[in-house]
Each structure stands twice: as structure tokens, then as C-alpha cells.
């Protein structure tokens, strides 16, 4: 491999000649264990967007000439287009401020820009990082990448889930089945009503996420090192936020309190709480599906789910609810991420939280896992479920909890006595009720008709 010599404030460093990064990126590669967890591309692209916006504002303020501005913006666009993806090798497990990654982006923009210019025009600190600090760019990139991920990755999948459940709800709105509470028999309902519960969860989760994302609109950019805005021109914070809002189409604004913006990460605790709520609901839906599909002969067996792959390496013909299992594992991971984010947000000292990379890594992982996992679940499981009407009818006829409809007519205690007698003597509910002499057959049929109970 060929190397070139790069120089920073600490001296000379040998850098691979076929890469655009500089000395500080190379030092990070040397000094930190290079695990598989790379800084998410969403963060890299958000930083590129920040550099593009900052160049515009710095040029408008007369601090950056037109040629340098155009070079910075051209390379930023290349990063946003994914044309320089191999230039961002750094691990998440670096400085807690994200300084190495901010400098990685600065160096790549400077290096690539100078290559395009055919001469050394850009300095990573003096020009690309002008009016900025890692302490305000990295949290700004966190906010941008988080909101974009929610809008572009997750919310469309939840909307699709609402559409799928709407179709299933209408399809099965008249199929009556036994309800269950505490994993015990309960009064009847329609399968469409049961599915409407799933749909209601998704609608509530989508609303919660859209409301929660608003707390991420205020940006730290312009606070520079500690929140005072040192080395940034007057109006830089406001103009940069407006430019980022224009570039993204998202109503970002400058944070009114940059000391809060740099030192507190409670906004991510709040928004990830909505992700955890979604994970909890997806866990519930997936568990309902696999319970209802349990069997095929020794379980509930009220629905059929798509058979996607063999379920056992030893038991021929076995098919398992694998999509449900994958989604519930994802839910567990998201709940673990929530604990990590909460702990990380509670740390840091004085003017800066220094757990930022782990916060955004876990946040974006949760969004990605939920988006991809729920999308697969919808495509390969939920949209293809079919009811076993015969089994639903059989279970609904067997349930003793239809006795609930008799309570207004004969009282709770007598109704309970009928249910217990039917269970103890293995009678039908009707047989036990008629044996008491409290009801005629016509009355029993009228009071306990399932269609009147849903």
C-alpha cells in the first residue's frame, strides 16, 4: 500500500494514499479498537449536510470565499449521494463527543475538495469546520439523522401496518370467536374487533412518534464549544438552522438555549421512549399471532399463518412462527437500547454530554430494526394470515363465558353456578342452564346468541 504524509497539530502521520482522510482520522484508526460497529451512515450524511449549510452561511457572512464554498458543497453533495462511502471507517467506540467522526468528515471534504481543485485550498478546521465545533455539530447531526430516520424509514412501515390491519379488520368483521383474558376463556368478539386492537396500537404509536419527533427540531449548531457561540459570527445559529430546514424540508430551528443543547440528551430518551412503546406493541401483536396460530393440532389453531421455511432440523413437516420470533427478538433489543440510551443521557459532565455516539448508534439501530423487522413481518406473516373458521366456531361454542350474558337476567351468582356446574360435569352451558329451571331453551338461545354479544 502506498502512503502519503499528513500533518496536524500533533505532528506527521502516514495516511493511505488512496483515501481522502487526514491525520486525525488515521490517529483514530490507530488509537481505538476497530470494532464492527461503524458510525452510522445517517450520521455521516447529516454531518455532510451541516457542512454544506455552514459553508453557505459562512460565505454569506463574508468569511468564506465563493470557490471554497462551492468545493465544500460539491463534496458534501458527493457524500450525501453515497459516492464516498469508503471514506468513513471510524468506530462508534471513540471519543464521546464524536470529534473523530466530525474531523473525519472535515478531512474527507478538504482532501477531496483539494483534489478537485488541483491545489490546496481547503483546510479541514479553518474552512470546513468554520464557525463550528464537534460539540455542536455532532448533536446537530444526531437530531437530523434521527428525525430523517423516523420519517423515511419507520413511519411509512407503520402506515403500511395500519393499512394491512384495516384490510384484515374488514375481511373478518363478521367472524365470531371466543375472546380471551388472562389466557382464559372470555366472552365472544369478532376477529375483526380483535384485529382493530392491533390497528389501534399502531395508530397510537404513529401519533406518539410524530409528536415526539418535534422535540428534536431545535439544533445545537451555533453553540460551538460550550454553548457561548465563540468563533461563530452573529446570526450563524439562526441562519444555519434555516438553511438545514430548507435542505431537508424538516422544520428545524436553532435551540434557544445552546448550553442545554450541548449538555442534555434527554430529548433522545423521550423519543426513544416512543420507539420502546412501539416495540412493546409489536411484541404483543406478534405474540397474539403465534398464540392464535399455535398447533396445528395441539394448540389454539384459530388462524393459519404463511409457511415460509421448515421449522425443525429434526422434526419433519414442522413449521414455526419464525416472523413472530424475529419481531419479538427485535422488540427485546429495542428495549435494551432504551436502557442504554437512558443511562448514557444521564451521564456527561458540566457543558457536554460525552456519550453521544452510543446514544445515536442505539437510536438509529432501533429505528432500523423496527422498520425492517416490522416490514418483513407484514409481508411474510400478517398480510397472509387466514382464519380457521371451523376452529373458531368450535371454541366459541365451547366457551363457558357466554354465561356472562345471563347475569342481567338471573344474577351473577346463579350464572357463576351454571358455569361451574357445566365445567365440573362436562356439560354444555345450555345443558347446565336448562337443568336449573331458571331459563327456557328459547330464553337461553336468545340471551346467549353470540351475534348479540359482539
Q: What is the pLDDT of residues 289-306, one digit of tens each?
A: 999 999 999 999 999 999
Domain assignment of residue 337, yes or no: yes
Residues 270 and 304 in one domain: yes
How confident is residue 152, by pLDDT bands cut at 50, 70 and 90? very high
In whole angstroms, what is the distance from residue 429 CA to residue 418 CA?
7
How confident is residue 440, by pLDDT bands cut at 50, 70 and 90? very high
**Could you read off the pLDDT of 418-435 as tens digits, one per residue?**
999 999 999 999 999 999
**Could you read off the pLDDT of 83-93 as tens digits, one per residue?**
999 999 999 99
Dihedral angle computed from the Cα positions of residues 78, 80, 84 and 85, in that order, rounded to the nearest 10 degrees: -170
| Torsional class of 402: left (φ above 0), alpha (ψ -120 to 50), beta (otherwise) | alpha
Residues 116 and 19 in one domain: yes
Among 149, 160, 145, which Cα is nearest to 275's? 149
Domain assignment of residue 146, yes or no: no
Look up the CATH number of the domain holding residue 427.
Answer: 1.10.40.30
Domain assignment of residue 272, yes or no: yes
Residues 349 and 431 in one domain: no
Residues 26 and 96 in one domain: yes
Pick the more confident residue, 1 or 345.
345
In whole angstroms, what is the distance from residue 62 CA to residue 386 CA?
66
- Say if CB 394 and CB 177 are below 8 A apart: no
- Residue 54 sits in which domain range? 3-130
Rg of the chain (C-alpha set): 30
The shares of helix, strand and coil residues in the chain, as percent rounded to the nearest 5, are: 65, 10, 30
Whether omega before 296 lies within 30 degrees of 0, making that bond cis, reads: yes
Would you mind telling me the total number of residues written for the chain in this entry?
A: 454
Residues 426 and 305 in one domain: no
- Say if CB 303 and CB 386 are below 8 A apart: yes
Domain assignment of residue 226, yes or no: no
Number of domains composing the chain: 3
Residues 94 and 118 in one domain: yes
Residue where a domain terminates, one of 389, 423, 444 = 389
Among 237, 217, 214, 213, which Cα is nearest to 227's? 237
Range with the poorest average pLDDT among 33-42, 207-216, 326-335:
33-42
Residue 61: the pLDDT is 98
Residue 148: the pLDDT is 98
Per-chain mean pLDDT for the chain: 97
Residues 367 and 267 in one domain: yes
Residue 348: the pLDDT is 86
**Could you read off the pLDDT of 20-76 as tens digits, one per residue?**
999 999 999 999 998 889 999 999 999 999 999 999 999 999 999 999 999 999 999
Look up the CATH number of the domain holding residue 120.
Answer: 1.10.275.10
Residues 378 and 424 in one domain: no
Residues 199-226: what's their mean pLDDT? 98
Domain assignment of residue 228, yes or no: no
Residue where a domain terminates, one of 389, 415, 437 = 389
Domain assignment of residue 205, yes or no: yes
**Could you read off the pLDDT of 173-198 as tens digits, one per residue?**
999 999 999 999 999 999 999 999 99
| Residue 442: exposure state from Cβ atoms within 10 A (0-12, 13-18, ≥19) | exposed
Write down the pTM of the prediction: 0.96
Q: Which residue has the cell 329451571?
A: 437
Domain assignment of residue 30, yes or no: yes
Residues 372 and 404 in one domain: no
Question: pLDDT at residue 163 above 90?
Answer: yes
Dihedral angle computed from the Cα positions of residues 182, 187, 188 and 194, in that order, rounded to the nearest 10 degrees: -40
Domain assignment of residue 38, yes or no: yes
Q: What is the DSSP letter of 152?
A: I
| Residue 182: exposure state from Cβ atoms within 10 A (0-12, 13-18, ≥19) | exposed
The residues assigned a catalytic role are: 182, 312
Range with the poorest average pLDDT among 131-135, 241-245, 427-431:
427-431
Residue 1: the pLDDT is 84
Among 416, 448, 8, 390, which Cα is nearest to 188's? 448
Residues 345 and 197 in one domain: yes
Residue 35: the pLDDT is 85
Residue where a domain terminates, one of 368, 389, 410 = 389
Among 351, 136, 363, 148, which Cα is nearest to 264's? 351
Residues 194 and 325 in one domain: yes
In whole angstroms, what is the distance from residue 55 CA to residue 229 CA?
17
- Say if CB 190 and CB 205 are below 8 A apart: no
| Residues of the chain above pLDDT 90, percent | 98
Residues 423 and 351 in one domain: no
Question: pLDDT at residue 161 above 90?
Answer: yes
Look up the CATH number of the domain holding residue 330.
Answer: 1.20.200.10
Neighbours of 418 (CB within 10 A): 25
Residues 152-160: what's their mean pLDDT? 98
Grid coordinates belonging to 348: 456527561
Amino acid at each position: 500500500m502506498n502512503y502519503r504524509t499528513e500533518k496536524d497539530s500533533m505532528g506527521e502521520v502516514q495516511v493511505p494514499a488512496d483515501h481522502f482522510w487526514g491525520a486525525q482520522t488515521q490517529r483514530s484508526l490507530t488509537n481505538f479498537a476497530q470494532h464492527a460497529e461503524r458510525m452510522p451512515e445517517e450520521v455521516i450524511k447529516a454531518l455532510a449536510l451541516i457542512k454544506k449549510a455552514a459553508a453557505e452561511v459562512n460565505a454569506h457572512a463574508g468569511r468564506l470565499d465563493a470557490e471554497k464554498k462551492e468545493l465544500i458543497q460539491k463534496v458534501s453533495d458527493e457524500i450525501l449521494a453515497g459516492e464516498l462511502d469508503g471514506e468513513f471507517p471510524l468506530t462508534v467506540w471513540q471519543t464521546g463527543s464524536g470529534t473523530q467522526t466530525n474531523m473525519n468528515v472535515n478531512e474527507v471534504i478538504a482532501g477531496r475538495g483539494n483534489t478537485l481543485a488541483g491545489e490546496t485550498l481547503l483546510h479541514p478546521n479553518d474552512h470546513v469546520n468554520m464557525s463550528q465545533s464537534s460539540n455542536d455539530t455532532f448533536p446537530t447531526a444526531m437530531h437530523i439523522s434521527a428525525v430523517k430516520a423516523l420519517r423515511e424509514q419507520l413511519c411509512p412501515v407503520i402506515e403500511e401496518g395500519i393499512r394491512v390491519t384495516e384490510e384484515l379488520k374488514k375481511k373478518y368483521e363478521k367472524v365470531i370467536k371466543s375472546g380471551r383474558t388472562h389466557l382464559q376463556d372470555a366472552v365472544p368478539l369478532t376477529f375483526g374487533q380483535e384485529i382493530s386492537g392491533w390497528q389501534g396500537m399502531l395508530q397510537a404509536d404513529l401519533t406518539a412518534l410524530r409528536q415526539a419527533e418535534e422535540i428534536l427540531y431545535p439544533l445545537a449548531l451555533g453553540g460551538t464549544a460550550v454553548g457561548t457561540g465563540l468563533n461563530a459570527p452573529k446570526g450563524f445559529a439562526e441562519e444555519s438552522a434555516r438553511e438545514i430546514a430548507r435542505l431537508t424540508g424538516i422544520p428545524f430551528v436553532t435551540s434557544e438555549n445552546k448550553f442545554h443543547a450541548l449538555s442534555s440528551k434527554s430529548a433522545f430518551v423521550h423519543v426513544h421512549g416512543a420507539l420502546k412503546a412501539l416495540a412493546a406493541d409489536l411484541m404483543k401483536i406478534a405474540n397474539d399471532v403465534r398464540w392464535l396460530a399455535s398447533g396445528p393440532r395441539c394448540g389454539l389453531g384459530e388462524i393459519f399463518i404463511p409457511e415460509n421455511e421448515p421449522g425443525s432440523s429434526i422434526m419433519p413437516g414442522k413449521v414455526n412462527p419464525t416472523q413472530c420470533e424475529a419481531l419479538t427478538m427485535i422488540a427485546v433489543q429495542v428495549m435494551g437500547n432504551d436502557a442504554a440510551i437512558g443511562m448514557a443521557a444521564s451521564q456527561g459532565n458540566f457543558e457536554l454530554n460525552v456519550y453521544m455516539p452510543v446514544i445515536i448508534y442505539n437510536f438509529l439501530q432501533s429505528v432500523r430494526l423496527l422498520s425492517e423487522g416490522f416490514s418483513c413481518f407484514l409481508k411474510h406473516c400478517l398480510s397472509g394470515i387466514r382464519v380457521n373458521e371451523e376452529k373458531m366456531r368450535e371454541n366459541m361454542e365451547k366457551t363457558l363465558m357466554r354465561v356472562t350474558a345471563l347475569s342481567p337476567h338471573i344474577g351473577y351468582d346463579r350464572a357463576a353456578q351454571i358455569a361451574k356446574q357445566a365445567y365440573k360435569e362436562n356439560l354444555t352451558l345450555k345443558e347446565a342452564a336448562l337443568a336449573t329451571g331458571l331459563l327456557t331453551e328459547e330464553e337461553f338461545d336468545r340471551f346467549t346468541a353470540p351475534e348479540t354479544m359482539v
